């Protein structure tokens, strides 16, 4: 029963809902004051300093997403309040609540995330399902998800702001407020290490008076694009403590975060041998790899997909094999990329390249199995890897 429920959660966009809510609430935790347009470094410093001055915030957040999974929109009402510093860290704890009040997909309305600073609850009203646990478990789950990501991506995440460049473009009006318009782009070395579909560019509008992000637009290339906009913002005002408590509805199915973490860890394949026995098709392996490249990680998604990640000093790549349709597999090439038809051992394939990032993505289907080879490597190398799969 638990396994069925876990699979149901994965099919339903609950994870995406939670992520959107968290992203939206990030805007509620920053504030600072200034009198002139800052440099990028000054802006970051002021936003970080503002964590100590914003003790509470309430806002309405509009979220719009366009992705291979479909387009959608959410309106979220959010509350955030700092509470006493924890004894363990000395940093302020935060309690928060976010409710979906409107959505393009009606069944998402009423979805709620609540944290009292120690325990969290994620509630899905249509399924009458609650996921709950300690905040420490959420951190463990996030760590396990990072551990299952390609090492090159983990390294970039660890770099944080060091992996991107910020450029203050000027002042614009957003929701009647003067804001700094900030361009966020990957550094050249970051772009060179990301697979073609992983490129992300963003524009951020930061309130001039509060140093609070009021709007964020993200273009993630083939993964889609989105926009988050904050309105009706109130900061540093008392908030009813009832907002940060949650009563589990009668008859609701309750899932413990610890159980979900265990399930996620069970699905991680630590070796090629485990991957071979996890899927029902013949797992092909490369007989050719670029010089210096070696296998560093294998991931299994459900019982249908295997991702093999290879890393070298000069290039890296991922080989994906699946007997199910893969999201984005039939989409057009991202803007600024070149798409061309090629042949791989008699099978028609599509090669997508990007001259700016030196990235390549090769996708094709053979005998009911779908393949993708992607990464910052020359197209001719991607072809040689594909032709050498055995």
Residue 283 pLDDT greater than 70, yes or no: yes
The SS3 assignment for 372 reads strand
Show the tokens assigned to 238. Answer: 């008392």
Residue 9 pLDDT greater than 50, yes or no: no
Superfamily of domain 2-262: Lipoprotein localisation LolA/LolB/LppX (2.50.20.10)
User: Angle 77-82-86 (CA atoms, 0-180°, nearest 5)?
Assistant: 135
Average pLDDT over residues 157-180: 76
CA 34 vs. chain centroid, Å, equals 31
List pLDDT tens digits, range 262-282: 666 555 556 888 888 888 999
CA 256 vs. chain centroid, Å, equals 22
Contact 178, 218 (CB under 8 A): no
Question: Can you give the pLDDT at residue 168?
Answer: 87
Question: Can you give the pLDDT at residue 185?
Answer: 78
Phi-psi region of 236 (alpha: psi -120 to 50; beta: other; left: phi over 0): left
Q: What is the CA radius of gyration of the chain?
A: 23
The domain ranges of the chain are 2-262, 268-387
Show the tokens assigned to 318. Answer: 């991922």
| Closest among 216, 167, 223, 160 to 190, alpha carbons compared | 160
Confidence of residue 143 (pLDDT cuts 50, 70, 90): low
Contact 133, 256 (CB under 8 A): yes
Confidence of residue 196 (pLDDT cuts 50, 70, 90): very low
Question: Can you give the pLDDT at residue 16?
Answer: 45
Q: How far is CA 99 from CA 85, 116, 248, in A?
A: 26, 15, 15
Question: Can you give the pLDDT at residue 160?
Answer: 52
CATH topology of domain 268-387: Phosphorylase Kinase; domain 1 (3.30.200)
Give the dihedral of Cα atoms 315, 320, 321, 326; nearest 10 deg.
-150
List pLDDT tens digits, range 43-96: 877 777 776 788 899 999 999 988 766 788 999 999 999 887 654 555 568 899
Average pLDDT over residues 334-359: 80
């Amino acid at each position: 029963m638990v396994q069925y429920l876990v699979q149901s959660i994965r099919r339903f966009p609950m994870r995406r809902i939670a992520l959107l809510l968290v992203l939206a609430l990030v805007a509620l935790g920053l504030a600072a004051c200034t009198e002139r347009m800052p440099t990028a470094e000054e802006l970051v410093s002021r936003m970080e300093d503002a964590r100590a001055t914003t003790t509470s915030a309430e806002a309405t957040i509009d979220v719009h997403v366009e992705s291979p999974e479909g387009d959608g929109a959410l309106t979220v009402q959010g509350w955030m309040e700092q509470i006493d510093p924890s004894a363990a860290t000395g940093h302020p704890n935060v309690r928060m609540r976010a409710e979906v009040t409107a959505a393009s997909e009606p069944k998402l309305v009423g979805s709620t995330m609540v944290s009292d600073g120690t325990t969290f609850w994620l509630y899905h009203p249509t399924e009458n399902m609650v996921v709950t646990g300690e905040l420490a478990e959420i951190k463990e789950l996030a760590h396990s998800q990072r551990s299952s990501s390609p090492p090159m991506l983990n390294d970039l995440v660890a770099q944080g702001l060091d992996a991107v460049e910020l450029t203050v473009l000027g002042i614009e009006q957003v929701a009647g407020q003067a804001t700094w318009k900030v361009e966020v782009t990957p550094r050249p070395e970051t772009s060179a290490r990301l697979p073609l579909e992983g490129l992300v560019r963003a524009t951020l509008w930061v309130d001039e008076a509060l140093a609070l992000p009021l709007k964020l637009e993200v273009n993630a290339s083939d993964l889609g694009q989105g926009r988050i906009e904050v309105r009706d913002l109130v900061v540093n005002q008392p908030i009813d403590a009832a907002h940060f408590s949650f009563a589990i509805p009668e008859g609701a199915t309750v899932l413990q975060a610890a159980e979900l973490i265990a399930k996620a860890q069970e699905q991680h394949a630590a070796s090629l041998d485990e991957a071979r026995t996890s899927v029902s098709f013949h797992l092909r392996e490369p007989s050719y790899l670029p010089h210096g490249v070696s296998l560093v990680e294998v991931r299994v998604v459900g019982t249908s997909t295997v991702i093999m990640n290879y890393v070298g000093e000069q290039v890296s790549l991922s080989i994906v094999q699946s007997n199910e349709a893969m999201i984005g597999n039939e989409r057009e090439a991202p803007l600024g990329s070149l798409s061309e038809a090629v042949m791989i051992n008699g099978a028609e394939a599509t090669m997508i390249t990007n001259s700016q990032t030196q990235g390549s993505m090769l996708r094709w289907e053979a005998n009911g199995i779908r393949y993708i080879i992607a990464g910052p490597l020359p197209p001719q190398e991607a072809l040689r890897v594909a032709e050498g799969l055995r």
